[in-house]
Amino acid sequence: MSTTQPHLFVIFGGTGDLTKRKLLPSLYRITMENGVGEDLNILGVSRTDHGDDEYRGWARDALVAAGVDAAAATEWVQRMFYTRVAADEGDLAAVRDEIETIEQKRGLPGNRALYLALPPPSFPDTISMLGEAGLNTSPGWTRLVIEKPFGSDFETAEQLNAVVHDHFTEDQIYRIDHYLGKETVQNVLAFRFSNLLFESAWSRDRIHKVEITVAEEIGIEGRSGYYERAGVMRDMVQNHLTQLLTLVAMEAPHSFNADAIRTEKVQALQAVTVDPDHVVFGQYTEGVVDGEEIPGYLDEEGVAVDSTTATFVALRLAVNSWRWQGVPFYLRTGKRMPRKTTQIVVTFQRPPVCLFHGVEDECEMHSNVLILTLQPDEGFELRFDVKAPGEPLHLVAKPLHFDYEEAFESIPDAYQTLLYDVISGDQTLFVRSDEVETSWQLWDELIDMPATVHAYAAGTWGPEQTDIALGRPGESWTLSD
């Protein structure tokens, strides 16, 4: 049963690509699948010159393009309204007046979700205007949703937090990172803290190493303007990989609530140290993948011919806590890699004494390996040794598989999960201000550090210097098939 209340969902950037591709389809599914029903009313806000009916037609087309039945989409968009903000307007008084008019017309109690589906440079001014227009309070609840990236370094994140806190309280703020909305990312917590079998072995006494890989097949997809400013550290490491790292490394919260979980994530981050000597950056060059010629990064439209922007990074870090002291964590992410995959690989210690030997007296025991696959083909795999039939004695590593889609048929879209949490008031999967700042503090040195960027061919797993730079020459990374 839904835990939501009647409310108005206000989208600033209401005619943008994010609204079209992600927000509207997700809001539609929430009303169909999460039992929200008529509780949801939507107001789109942008500079485009639309009326209510024209906006509803635009939204209907967006839903049909996302696979929604045309008749169902036509009926659903009747809950939508639109107001235009002129480019030269310096306040949001007209938006406030429109919100109050809709609430009176629809008999709403004043509950409001304010979603900033806007370019990050516009966040500070928009947040200030919301506060100045009195849209930081209401007769019901008010929740502000801010898309990532939240700042571009520690200083800008701190400044943006200051602007936000000038007008909103932390319990009103939902900093959204769609990665945390993935069911399988959330399930890392359930996997760890509901299964004593694994949590009791989740420490330096039993674990040899942890590897986290976020690999993308695609290049920059026409986003050279953004990517030249961001690079791989801002685009992937400061947010996505950091979230996965904290979920693996954090201690058990005292209860399963937002503040308890987020406090443990921050404490895990505070224990992390990175040695710049164990970091390698890369940039993809041209290559051939499945018979198709792939251009290099420097050949992408809008990229400077002498650009040193990294599209790949691998690094080794330490978590200096009682649980993890001495266990290396290896993180890597890159574009134009052989396949799209996100995996957390936990390699356990080998037994202290080898009892099983091959014909040449070499130890045949392998480490147990746990592989959590977050995308695609979500699930997990546990590798363990068994005796192969016949003689002489021979051990082979075999996997035990679990596949989420086979077990549960369908998995909600990340935005569907997160938007439902916004309107039901659950902040568990949203990033708190101190976590944002701690994360930027951790990575700022690497972002600003002049570094050699090594070439790697499109369709490969990164520069050949990677494992040497990480202090693991000849040691291959573990991935599921």
Would you name the residues annotated as active-site residues?
240
Q: Nearest to residue 403, comparing CAs of 480, 348, 477?
A: 480
Q: Are strands 7-12 and 40-46 parallel, antiparallel or unpaired?
A: parallel
Q: Are strands 341-348 and 207-215 parallel, antiparallel or unpaired?
A: antiparallel
**Preceding amide of 139 cis, omega within 30:** no
| H or E element in which residue 10 lies | strand 7-12
The alpha carbon of residue 254 and the mean position of all alpha carbons in its chain are separated, in whole angstroms, by: 24
Which residue is it, tokens 């599914």? 29
* Neighbour count for residue 3 (Cβ, 10 Å): 12
Q: Is 136 helix (H, G, I), strand (E, B) or coil?
A: coil
Which residue is it, tokens 């916004």? 422
Q: Are strands 312-319 and 272-285 parallel, antiparallel or unpaired?
A: antiparallel
Cβ atoms of residues 159 and 150 within 8 Å: no
| H or E element in which residue 343 lies | strand 341-348
- The one-letter code for the residue type at 138 is S
- SS3 of 333-387: the string is EECCCCCCEEEEEEEECCCCCCCCECCCCCECCCCCEEEEEEECCCEEEEEEEEE
The alpha carbon of residue 49 and the mean position of all alpha carbons in its chain are separated, in whole angstroms, by: 33
CA distance 146 to 143: 10
CA distance 13 to 22: 13
> How many residues are present in the chain?
481
CA distance 456 to 464: 7
Cβ atoms of residues 345 and 188 within 8 Å: no
Q: Are strands 292-294 and 112-116 parallel, antiparallel or unpaired?
A: unpaired
Cβ atoms of residues 395 and 364 within 8 Å: yes
Q: Which two tokens stand for residue 218?
A: 């695609």
What lies within 8 Å, CB to CB, of 421 at 6+ separation is: 174, 427, 428, 429, 430
CA distance 227 to 225: 6
| H or E element in which residue 101 lies | helix 93-106
